[in-house]
Homo-oligomer: A and B are copies of this chain.
Amino acid sequence: MAKPKSQAIQARRIRPTIHDVAKAAGVSIATVSRALNSPDSVRKELRERVVAAADSMDYMADSVGKALRRQRTQIISTMLPRLADPLFSAVASAIQETLEENGYLGFVQTSGFDNTNLFDRAKRLIEHGTEGLIIFGRIDDQRLLDYCRAHQLPLLSAYSYFEKAEVPTIGFDNYLATRQLVEMLHTLGHSRIAMISGSDKGNDRQQSRIRAFRDINAELGQEPVIEFTHMDFDMADGGAALRRIMENHPETTALVCNRCVIAFSVMVEARRLGIAVPEHLSLTGFDDIDYAALFDPSLTTVAVPSEKIGRAAAKAMIAHLETGAPLGSRRFETEVILRRSVARPRATA
């Protein structure tokens, strides 16, 4: 009789297995598994012996073995542009919490602001057993779309909402939100409105906001005034953009900044230039980060229901995995938060 070949692997991790528990409790591994997973199916006395043995050695069933057998990992991964950004991290945080509450776990990976090459970055997530993928923003990588379709990997686009998208989207509509904001300014009497945007390259949020602004201007028969500004992390140089606008379009009475940080830096520069906000120039930001209320003057912005979006995205994905309910799109409302940085336009000549 050939003695069994031994292929012992040096264990990195000294963790008791179900075999250790079985031996300690004097039962088979099947009984251990049942005692822990469906306690009713094993006699009280044995069950207690098993539980005692398991507790005494801090036994935790290894999810890797479990995942292999069950063909379920309970892992849902998220890709987002940048984690160190209050806009996104609020949503990501809500996702992670919702996952945890429902027995799932999530990988988080940053994608940068370019969604065209997602597949390669998502690969490792998929390899590691990701059952569902939540991606912030519009997904521009055809390979990823094809892969997910071919292999039935549920894919959800979160944060931004799109009227027509290749995959279900859960989020808010940047186009609509910007329209709301600009129309509010119109209602107040502003007719000369300029926009300062961050780079719109690969950034669906800026793209939608710009498109909304252009559309409104077109409807009014005006030439849109848009300046771009470099944004680095949480800093933006809105100052230079402000100077360009003031020089080339001094008739401007309201300035729509596509991110709060842009508005903040514009405010600093305005103060330096002696431009009174809001008396001479009304100013708005976007995404109502908490600091917006603390600036002087406090900043008018669009509030985004980040937490709701995150929870909804995670819940939708979980429901899909567990009940097969189809992944649907969902649009969340934004709200214009009117603060002191906006007033009626100054009297123009």
Contact = CB atoms under 8 A, between A and B. Distances in A.
Given A64-B68, A290-B261, A110 B93 contact: yes
A265 B126 CA distance: 44
A96 B109 contact: yes
25 contacts: A10-B71, A11-B71, A12-B71, A12-B321, A13-B71, A58-B151, A61-B127, A62-B127, A64-B64, A64-B73, A65-B68, A68-B68, A75-B128, A83-B93, A83-B96, A84-B90, A86-B86, A86-B89, A93-B110, A103-B124, A233-B290, A234-B291, A264-B294, A291-B291, A294-B295
Interface in A112-146: 121, 123-129, 131
A336 interface: no
A278 interface: no
Interface of A: 9-15, 58, 60-65, 67-73, 75, 82-86, 89-90, 92-93, 96-97, 100, 103, 105-110, 121, 123-129, 131, 147, 150-153, 233-235, 261, 264-265, 267-268, 271, 289-291, 293-296, 306, 321
Given A123-B60, A127-B60, A151-B15, A106 B105 contact: no
A317 to B, nearest CB: 13
B83 A151 contact: no
A11 B151 CA distance: 11
A265 B63 CA distance: 46
A69 B73 CA distance: 16
B86 A100 contact: no
A315 B207 CA distance: 37
Contact of A107 (B97, B105, B235, B271): B105
A65 B107 CA distance: 18
Given A67-B64, A125-B105, A235 B290 contact: yes
